[in-house]
A = this chain, B = another copy of it.
Amino acid sequence: MDERIPRDFETLRATILDRRESLPKRIAQIAAYALDNPDDIAFGTAASIAASAGVQPSTLIRFAQQLGFDGFTSLQQVFRERLRERNSSYDERLQALRAKAEGGAGHRAIFDGFVAAASTSLNDISRTLDDAHLEEAISLLAKAQTIYVLAKRRSYPVATYIAYALGKLKIRNQLIESAAGLNAEMIAFATPADAVIAISFSPYAPATIEEARTISEQGVPIVAITDSSFSPLAQFARVWFEVAEADFAGFRSLSATMALAMALTVGVGEKRRDTARRRKA
């Protein structure tokens, strides 16, 4: 009776799962239904939910009370809150999580922060990405003999994933790494029949900018992924994408960039297959 009542959905879920064994049959039935159809609980009336779950309304109320709520209505609040949360602007959630992490709320808060930053970035990019640019970039890259991938530091992980994916799709590509110090030579091989994917975010790695400049002066078309129209990359690029990644604890998400990178890669793969097929026919 004086147990702690779950205030948020995850706690509630855990509580239910925890007690599942010890619940009476009908109560267990409604418990299972609740976890399977949380939306119905959020919106339905006691009677309608009870009917869908095949129990009496009173059972539903007993279920709520057993969990410590004082009735169905307060149980329902938790299910509604869940929908609100999920839907609430990720920005607000990020704010809150940042404050929480600052306040030393433990490592879970840090993790949640990174998840929220990633989600925000994904939301953002799917709102802002321009379809025409995507098409243009893919056509351009699909025509290239070799695709050069250019990125350093923070953007480097994206470059390695692009290179990996291009490799799997059997698309000739060259990752421009700095390790061996042979970048200049590597770049010298690129011709206007090739193409470059360049990725750089503020603060722009000077080497990336320099290499992009050189390569664009050789007449090689560049597709750039960067973070603003003022980016030095943008001026060298034939097509460029503005990607705003949310940051957390000083590190930016890469999710949006990754999603775009993969779309470009797979897009090129598809385009080539289409072209090949059409040529045969």
Residues of chain A whose beta carbon lies under 8 Å from any beta carbon of chain B: 10, 39, 42-43, 80, 83-84, 86-88, 106-108, 110-115, 118-119, 122, 125-127, 129, 131, 134-135, 138, 153-154, 156-158, 160-161, 164-165, 168, 179, 248-251, 253-255, 258-260, 262-263, 265-267, 270
Contact = CB atoms under 8 A, between A and B. Distances in A.
A156 B254 CA distance: 14
B126 A115 contact: yes
B111 A263 contact: yes
A16 to B, nearest CB: 14
A157 B154 contact: no
A38 to B, nearest CB: 9
B10 A259 contact: no
A112 B135 contact: no
Contacts of A250: 168, 266
A265 B111 CA distance: 10
Query: Which of A84, A258, A265 has the most C-beta atoms of chain B within 10 angstroms of its own C-beta?
Result: A258
A129 B156 CA distance: 27
A28 B115 CA distance: 36
